[in-house]
Chains A and B, each alone.
Chain A
Amino acid sequence: MRLPINLLSLTLSILPSVFAVYSDEAYSVDYHHELLGLPLPHTTFFHRPRKEEKATLLYTLSDLGVLGAVNPGLGKVVWRQLLAGIVGNETGFLRPVEGESTVVSAIGSRVDSWDAMSGKEKWGNVFEGAVKDLEVMETAAGAEETKDVLALFEEEGKGILRRLKGESGNVAWEFEDGTSDVPLQVSTNVRSIFIVSLHGAWGGYNLKVTALDPVTGKRTNEYTLSTKADVHSAEDVLLVGANSAAPIVAWTDKTLKNLKVNLLGKAGDLQSLPLKESDGPIINVALHAPNLVQSQPHFLVHTHSSVSNRADVYHIDLASGSIKKAYELPKLPGQGAVSTSSQEANVYFTRHTADEVIIVSSASHAILGRFPLEIESDHGSLLHGVSEVVQRDANTYAVRSALLTSGQDWVLVRNGKDGWVRPEGLSGAVAAEWAEIPESESLAQTLEAEAHSNPLSAYIHRVNRHVSDLQYLPGYLQDLPRRFLSSILPGDIVSPKSGVLVRDTFGFNKLVIIATRRGRVYGLDAGNQGSIVWSASAFEQPAGKTWDVKGIWVEHSKGTTTVRGADGEYVMFNTTSGNKIEAMNPGTWPATTSTVVVDSPSGKWLLPIGVDGNPGEVPTAWAPKENLVVKGSNGEIKGLKFEAGKETAQPVVTWTFKPAIGQRIVNVVSRPAHDPVASIGRVLGDRTVLYKYLNPNIVLVTSVSDEHSTASLYVIDTVSGDILHSISHEGVDTIQPIASVLTENWFAYSLWADLLPTTETLPASKGYQIFVSEMYESDVPNDRGPLGSAANSSSLEPSDIPNAGPALPFVATQSFLIPEAISHMSVTETRQGITTRQLLCTIASNNAIIGIPRTILDPRRPVGRDPTTAEMEEGVFRYQPYIEFDPKLILTHKREVIGVKDVITSPAVLESTSLLFAYGIDIFGTRVAPSAAFDILGKGFNKLSLVGTVLALWVGVVVLAPMVRRKQINGRWMTS
């Protein structure tokens, strides 16, 4: 048992240096926007998670496939589940089970039932095909059993309806529609189930309604509704009435003049309701109907013209099946949102317009409550929402509505007053970039001007400047006590001025510019808990389309930020205010596959790379000075060089790297743009030096072969195209994430590999593995490799000998087993590179980001023996094949950061600290100090006691000094 004790002591000895987050820094240095995505109108509702309590939660399945429950009082997320797959744009369905603590969701091909209070999964079932609709099967009143779920699937072009048992999710029965009609929706009243499908050919569908027996799932009736070519796609059908007593299917004619309504189950009955134009043609029609089976069969038709909106309320006579207009809500200017709320049989419609909230009952046009809408900040117009109406007493009603605005904020309005705001538009970020807060440039400029002018005028200028600086003195003096207090009092008792963007001495205050998939751009203040400084709409994206951002360039000298998209569009913002400076719409310029900031004789600019990695001709004055490395259309890597002509410079391909046949390149990483190296060698225990291979022109290419389950990694010199190093792994699961990172003189990658009988290269194991390789100029200490003491290095002509091969690095590699898949890798950046880098790994399965210290991932750790004294002096300890993801290493600690797509880092002014920002669905940011915060006092440092001690000593000296002096004089003069 000696070994474990040794290991334990070793582990303990390294622990204090590897704490990722100190408990007093958690929640104060890090920030997290817990986001859901934009709520969709048909998957958002209030629901009581506990039958016996009146409190409700707000549930939504967002456009990003995140299922979440929000506390409607505070706006805090109670629980969340990420349901969407990697693609993330499948339509989801979410239904509450009335009277039960359950919500049922369906997305992709899976159906899940969730505990409404805790968010724990009750059951989940995965089928073939894609879910088209989901409905909860209402039982006869008073039935005690769990309500069953109806799920409509489309499998190989055929509609299949499955009734899933409410308590287990098992299939009770299955109905297969033999035809190739497109299944659309399912609806039910207690007596029968209706499947509505699109019948006929593309371009003009008719609607087919199939009625099924709820108990057996057998077809009882089927009829077709002729739409006269009004319905072209599933979106043209406005509503298939949910669990109302009289479910309907409704669509409009092409000209938006009439609404066609069929009461499901009544074959020949097709009623046409005229849509009244108020001013200008109608552009949008929406239907709102209650979802409860016991509610009155009323519905509301909400029509929008370009400048106003109005609504009509219709009643369905259950006995005769006729639909008649009950009353109408008058025209009001601007956009509006109508939501339905039902309480037992009563149905309330809440109408939100730009300046008021009105509650009406579905039964009569009397206004039950009218509240002026007072929202403090501007969120744009109201798009849609859900509301909950409560009858306080006979005549007073209260309403709270969760509304989505055109500014992509989710706002809760309580009786017209704003409750909370969730910036859901932040979710689904696709690109982000750090931006420095612009310094007040004036001082630097005047100093430079003084340096260039003659001494006398510079002196006069300086005196004048100092005199004019005196006007800030009173303000400075006023600020002095606050500054003094804030520097000695612990924590946030004296908070700094908020809302002002200023640089701080430590460099923690930076902006992050984020572009989201929905075409919005945000500016966040990383130094102020990631608060939103500005937001702006760049290019509104159509539903289901993701804005493909190819590059964000923050130009610090001008204070502008340029965002470039894949379709050639770009938009330029002011970095600090978010004001749009200029924009170019998609399609006007050629498509872009990537962008790069290049340095040209005329200054720096953002060069767009077109299809097949071809940047095209550029004017000679704007030709990049450096070579470029681009990706071709078939995944190959190409080196480009601009050959300057008279007026234009042509890109010329200097080399091409193609992986072996059957392999595809999955990942290319380069060293970070800011990658300073403080020490060019690694000092060993005997104080000899292993020189690091520090070539800035290298990339790490990962290519996989799906057929042979292999993964190959190549280190390529990007100037000459030479392969400097290659590794191959067998038995690799190419579907599992393969992440890689390259920095300084080392690279790391992780993959899932299996043990094969043929494996010979590296000691192999089965499972998720992380590989770390360090590159050195030579394997012999104190040797600088083939290049010797040359001060320059050229990749094209590595030595004086003609046609000599490149100076190959010596690579030390070690592999470790890890418990979970790493979906993304990144590395910390510090100002001068003195601090050891930390590997930042995103663990998607755990919704966490972990910082693995370099000391653990050291290829020089001795294998199978204890380290010698020299090795211990070097700081390496015995190799252990398994790296446990210690919770202490997790930078996100208790926070669940879902859907992280990328992690970007930026150096702070403090050398010890690197700023981290993770985006994806959520937004998370923190500060990382890989070698502990050695240049700043921690929060635990008690400045108050230090100041107190100094003061106490001073008081002691002041009191004691006269006493001692008197005693000494007395000692001289008094004999006794």
Chain B
Amino acid sequence: MASAPLPPQWVIDLNSPPAGKPKSAGIPDPPGYTSTATGGKVDTTSPAQFLILTVLQKQQSSSKTAVRAPPTTEEMDVLKLKKAWEVALAPVKQLPMTAIMMYMSGNSLQIFSIMMVGMAFKNPIMGLMATNQAFEKFETPGTKGSLLMVKAVYVAMQILALALGVWKVNGMGLLPTTRSDWLAWETARDPLEVAIPAF
């Protein structure tokens, strides 16, 4: 009836990692820093929780003097909407840069310009396909109505970026817009009479 045997040493080591080095007492925590031990476990990898965390930290930092009230749902919605607008307008911010690069790369068919054109098409299309995912995190019952507008703007922006790619492709002469592009489908006239030379 012996008690359960002690787990091996490496199990103990694994379960209780050595404590972090004690901080040197002279250096205070930076303002707004809260030890994880006090703030509780927050998964900083999740953007939403991270946001909350930052907000909390800000509140905490400001509540050094006065304890902040937790944000209301309305405030959160406004914040989310703001963030959503940023996301929606992000593609258009890259446009001038892309346009300049496209203009610089010329209209000849080279590897660089082909890659540029490839990216110019890939990004907007991927963005369009991921429209809902991009705004998923902002979606609350409160923001649902106004988010539709944001999404529409987002889609418009992506289409604008796509148009830039089309403009570039047209400049490179890859769009079948001229008569010569359809020449291969045109046929010579069939002569109704045939005369064979015999001389």
Q: Is there contact, CB below 8 Å, between A695 and B186?
A: no
- Among B179, B184, B189, B194, the most chain A Cβ lie within 10 Å of the Cβ of B189
Q: Nearest Cβ in chain B — how far from A594, in angstroms?
A: 5
Chain A residues with Cβ below 8 Å from B178 are: 686-688
Assess the A697–B191 pair: CB atoms within 8 A: yes
**How many residues from B make CB contacts under 8 Å with A?**
21
A687/B190 contact (C-beta < 8 A), A629-B198, A639-B195 known: no
Beta-carbon contact of A629 and B190 below 8 Å: no
Least Cβ–Cβ distance between A805 and chain B, in angstroms = 17
A793 touches B198 (CB 8 A): no
In the bound complex, CA of A795 to CA of B183 (Å): 24
What total of A-B pairs shows CB separation below 8 Å?
104
Complex contact A629–B196 (CB within 8 A): yes
Q: A594-B199, A687-B173 are in contact. Are A793 and B192 (CB under 8 A)?
A: yes
Q: Among B179, B189, B192, B195, which residue has the most Cβ atoms of chain A within 10 A?
A: B195
The 0/1 profile, CB within 8 Å of B marked 1, for residues 688-706 of chain A is 1100001111010000000
Q: Quick one: given A629-B198, A688-B180, are A791 and B191 in contact (CB under 8 Å)?
A: no
Choose among B187, B193, B196 the residue that contacts A680 (Cβ–Cβ < 8 A): B187
Judged by a CB distance under 8 angstroms, whether A683 is at the interface is yes
Q: How would residues 153 to 197 of chain B score, 1 for a CB under 8 Å from any chain A CB and 0 otherwise?
A: 000000000000000000001000011110110111111111111
**Across the interface, do A683 and B193 meet the contact criterion of CB distance under 8 Å?**
no
Check if A710 is an interface residue, CB within 8 A of chain B: no
Complex Cα–Cα for A910 and B186 (A): 25
Interface presence of A146 (CB below 8 A): no
Cβ-defined contact, B183 with A627, below 8 A: no
Neighbouring A residues of B196 by C-beta, 8 Å: 596-598, 624, 626-629
A793 touches B190 (CB 8 A): yes
Q: Are B179 and A631 in contact (CB under 8 A)?
A: no
Instruction: Please determine whether A681 and B190 come into contact, CB atoms closer than 8 angstroms.
Output: no
Contact between B195 and A629, CB atoms less than 8 A apart: yes
Q: Are A681 and B180 in contact, with the CB atoms below 8 A?
A: yes
Among B186, B194, B199, chain A packs the most CB atoms within 10 A around the CB of B199
Interchain CA distance A624-B194 in the complex, whole Å: 11
Query: Known contacts being A687-B181, A694-B188, is A630 close to B198, with CB within 8 Å?
Result: yes
CA gap between A792 and B191 in the complex, in Å: 6
Q: How far is the CB of B22 from chain A (nearest CB, A)?
A: 32
* A792 with B198, Cβ < 8 A, contacts A679-B184, A688-B178, A688-B179 known: no
Q: Quick check: A668 and B199 within 8 Å, CB to CB?
A: yes
8 A Cβ contacts from A577-625 to B = 594-598, 607, 609, 613, 615, 624-625
> Contacts A627-B196, A630-B199 known; A792 to B189 CB distance under 8 Å?
yes
Q: Which of B179, B188, B193 contacts A697 (CB 8 A)?
A: B193
Beta-carbon contacts under 8 Å, A322-369 to B = none
Could you say which residues of chain A place their CB within 8 Å of the CB of B183? 679-681, 683, 689
CB proximity of B60 to chain A, nearest CB, Å: 46
CA gap between A630 and B189 in the complex, in Å? 25
Quick check: is A141 within 8 A (CB to CB) of the other chain?
A: no
Contact B198 A677 (CB under 8 A): no
Q: Which of B38-85 touch A at CB < 8 Å?
A: none
**A639–B183 Cα gap in the complex (Å)?**
34
Compute how far the CA of A637 lies from the CA of B195 in the bound complex, rounded to whole angstroms: 13
What residues on B are CB-neighbors of A596 within 8 Å? Answer: 196-198
Interface size on A, residues (CB 8 A): 48
A718-B197, A719-B195 as given contacts; A687 in contact with B180, CB under 8 Å: yes
Could you tell me if B193 and A629 are in contact, using CB atoms closer than 8 angstroms?
Answer: no
Q: Find A791's partner among B173, B190, B193, B199 (CB 8 Å cutoff).
A: B190
CA gap between A172 and B192 in the complex, in Å: 73
Residues of A within 8 A of B192 (CB): 792-796
The answer to whether A792 and B188 touch across the interface, beta carbons within 8 angstroms, is no
**Docked-complex contact B189 and A790, CB < 8 angstroms:** yes
Interchain CA distance A696-B195 in the complex, whole Å: 8
Select one of A609, A639, A699, A792 contacting B190, CB under 8 A. A792
A787 within 8 A of B: yes
> Which residues of the partner chain B approach A679 to less than 8 Å between Cβ atoms?
183-184
- Determine if A670 is an interface residue (Cβ-Cβ < 8 Å): yes
CB <8 Å contact, B189 and A628:
no
How far does the Cβ of A316 sit from chain B's closest Cβ, in whole Å? 60
Q: Which of B173, B179, B190, B197 has the most CB of A within 10 A?
A: B197
B198 touches A696 (CB 8 A): no
Give bound CA distance, A239 to B62, whole Å: 138
Within 8 Å CB of A613, what residues of B?
198-199
**A939: min CB distance to chain B, Å:** 31
Task: Tell me whether A531 is interfacial, beta carbon within 8 Å.
Answer: no
> Shortest Cβ distance from A626 into chain B, in angstroms?
4
Residue contact B190 to A719, C-beta cutoff 8 Å: no
Nearest-CB distance from A723 to chain B (Å)?
15
Are A796's CB and B198's CB within 8 A? no
Chain B residue nearest in CB terms to A793: B189
Of the listed residues B181, B186, B188, the one surrounded by the most CB atoms of chain A closer than 10 A to its CB is B188
With a cutoff of 8 Å between Cβ atoms, the chain A residues found around residue B186 in the complex are 680-681
Which residues from A are CB-within-8-Å of B193? 626-627, 697, 719, 794-796
Known: A681-B180, A687-B181, A688-B178. A627 touches B195 (CB 8 A): yes
* Complex-state Cα separation, A787 to B181, whole angstroms: 21
Complex formed: what's the CA distance from A437 to B180 in Å?
Answer: 40
Q: Considering the chains assembled together, what is the distance between the CA atoms of A558 and B178 in angstroms?
A: 49
Q: Is A101 close to B, CB under 8 A? A: no
A residues 625-666 in Cβ contact with B at 8 Å: 625-631, 637, 639
Q: Which of A776-807 contact B (CB under 8 A)?
A: 781-782, 787, 790-796
In the bound complex, how far is the Cα of B199 from the Cα of A137, in angstroms? 51
Which residues of the other chain, B, contact A697 by a CB distance below 8 angstroms?
Answer: 191, 193-195
A684 to B180, CA, bound (A): 8
Question: Chain B residues near A782 (CB, 8 Å)?
Answer: 179
Best-surrounded residue of A613, A684, A689 (most CB of chain B within 10 A): A689
Q: Which of B120-138 contact A (CB under 8 A)?
A: none
For A695, the closest partner residue in chain B by CB is B191
Q: In the complex, which residues of chain A have a beta carbon less than 8 angstroms from the beta carbon of B181? A: 687
- CB-CB < 8 A to B188: which residues of A? 677, 680, 694
Interface-central residue, B191, B193, B194, by most chain A CB under 10 Å: B193
Given contacts A679-B183, A782-B179, A629 and B197 within 8 Å (CB-CB): yes
- Find out whether the CB atom of A628 lies under 8 angstroms from the CB atom of B180: no
A793 in contact with B197 given A687-B179, A689-B183 (CB within 8 Å): no
Q: How far is the CB of B49 from chain A (nearest CB, A)?
A: 37
A683 and B180 form a contact (CB under 8 A): yes
Q: Which residues on B sit within 8 Å (CB–CB) of A630?
A: 198-199
By the criterion CB–CB under 8 Å, are A627 and B179 in contact?
no
Contacts of A689 in B (CB 8 A): 179-180, 183
B180 to chain A, nearest CB (A): 4
- CA separation between A313 and B188, bound complex, in Å? 78
Minimum CB–CB distance from B94 to chain A (whole Å) comes to 31
Residues of A contacting B179 in the complex (Cβ-Cβ under 8 angstroms):
687-689, 781-782
Name the distance in Å between A699's Cβ and chain B's nearest Cβ: 6
Of chain B, the residue at the smallest CB distance from A609 is B198
Whether A629 contacts B199 in the complex (CB less than 8 A), given A697-B193, A792-B189, A793-B192, comes out as: yes
In the complex, the chain B residue whose C-beta lies closest to that of A783 is B179
- The answer to whether B180 touches A793 (Cβ under 8 A) is no
Contact in complex: A626, B194 (CB < 8 Å): yes
**Nearest CB on A from B177, distance (A):** 9
Checking A670, A718, A791 against B187 with a beta-carbon cut-off of 8 angstroms, the contacting residue is A791
Q: Which residues of A contact B199 (CB under 8 A)?
A: 594, 613, 629-631, 637, 668
Q: How far is the CB of A870 from chain B (nearest CB, A)?
A: 12
In the complex, residue of chain A having the shortest beta-carbon distance to the beta carbon of B197: A670
Q: Can you name 7 A-B residue pairings with CB atoms under 8 Å?
A: A670-B197, A688-B180, A689-B180, A695-B191, A697-B191, A794-B192, A794-B193
- Shortest 6 CB-CB distances between A and B: which pairs? A596-B198, A670-B197, A627-B195, A687-B178, A718-B195, A793-B189
Interface contacts beyond A594-B199, A668-B199: sample of 14 additional A-B pairs, CB < 8 Å, sorted by A: A624-B196, A625-B194, A628-B196, A629-B195, A629-B197, A630-B198, A631-B199, A680-B183, A683-B180, A689-B179, A697-B195, A787-B189, A794-B193, A795-B192
